[in-house]
Amino acid sequence: MYRFGKRIPKLVLAVLMIAGFAGLLFFGAGRLHLGPRSPGSGGSGDTVETNQGGPVEPLHPLSIEYMRQQEYPGSEIITEQTLPPGSNYRRYIVSYRSDGLKIYALLTVPNGNPPAGGWPVIVFNHGYIPPAEYRTTERYSAYTDAFSRSGYILIRPDYRGHGNSEGNPEGAYYSPAYTVDVLNAVSSIKRYPGADSSRIGMWGHSMGGSITLRSMVVNPDIKAGVIWAGVVASYDDLVKNWRRPGSKPWQPSQREQAIRRPSRQMLVDQYGDTDANPQFWNSISPISFVPDISGPVQIHHGDADSSVPILFSQRLQDALTAAGNTSELYTYPGDDHNLSANLSTALSRSVRFFDTYLKASE
């Protein structure tokens, strides 16, 4: 093998070096960094990558396209505590990994031998509860019981910053954090012995409904979803049509304020409001992506709900219908945010819906 410097005359070598340097300047022009990142460009760096067509706008971490590009590997599910059993199912507090954090969850498993392929699964997304008040085994007991005793493995994640889960409570509307925890729960439960990874449904209430819709336009493995009183409209509707009659404007808890959780105003400051920059707000809005939703959706809402307007569920139903997706909307005259007056009816409808789309092969 010849050594480069000994076999090529020095003059030729100099010419080759100059030509190579010129080529790098020409072909590398599209990769130069051109100084400070402009407002609204996203990311945390101080430079912006460009190509010959101009600056490249990085995707915001909350955008649906960005979330689709990420991985949510989950982990093995670890049993932390065995709880008193339900009527025909076992109950546990378990943990799994999400974004390097230890996330806790309630897990219920039917008694007996699983069907061929395993038990169908429901991922249960609770609504807003002040993180400092949250407990894994409190609230929603009647809701989870309805699914658990109907032959489903159920996992109810404690989002980061809730209960004993690590991390900060960042919220669901202006941060992807809780949805990331739920998507990692999906991956984790797929590994669980006795679970059928091809039959996963998702239930969500209020804020959990928003997480459910976002999850279903990101992950195609969620075969059916049920949403109760969900915050599922566009960000434009959230800004202009979210009114709580007779109540004070909602404020994050002291703990949430202390960690300066992501807020609408942060995004407005960076990208402009929904009128000035509808393209950005649509890019982070799950309802804009319902043509790609992963499965049928059933929606429930009381028309006397003072927490989340029924308009939001109507907007989602209209979007699903326009996209040709399978969906159902049940409204409950005079009922509240929790469907207290029609709880049994709404739960029965929810169970039957999951049975239709997750148990048809049994």
Any idea where the domains of the chain sit in the sequence? 4-59, 65-358
User: In sequence order, which residues have a C-beta less than 8 Å from that of residue 194 and are 6 or more positions away?
Assistant: 109, 114, 118, 119, 153
Helix (H) or strand (E) holding 96: strand 89-98
Which segments of 147-231 are extended strands (E)? 153-157, 195-205, 222-228
Q: Are 173 and 287 in contact (CB under 8 A)?
A: no
b (16+ CB within 10 A) / e for 163-198:
bebebbbbbbbbbbbbbbbbbbbbbbbbebeebbee
The predicted model gives 334-339 an average pLDDT of: 98
d(CA 107, CA 149): 13
Calpha distance 16→10 (Å, rounded): 10
Helix (H) or strand (E) holding 298: strand 297-302
Q: Which helix (H) or strand (E) holds 148?
A: helix 141-148
Supply the CATH classification number for the domain 65-358.
Answer: 3.40.50.1820
Q: Is the pLDDT of residue 72 over 60?
A: yes
For the record, the structure tokens of 181 come out as: 């925890």
Residue 63 in this model has a pLDDT that exceeds 60: yes
Q: What is the pLDDT of residue 55?
A: 65
- In 3D, which of 115, 298, 311 has the Cα closest to residue 223? 298
pLDDT digits (tens, 9 = 90+) for 6-54: 334 444 444 444 444 444 333 333 332 323 322 233 333 333 444 556 6
Global pTM value: 0.82
What mean pLDDT is reported for the chain?
Answer: 86
- Which tens digits make up the pLDDT trace of 225-270? 999 999 999 999 999 999 755 555 555 556 555 555 678 899 999 9
117-163 per-position pLDDT tens digit: 999 999 999 999 999 899 999 999 999 999 999 999 999 999 999 99
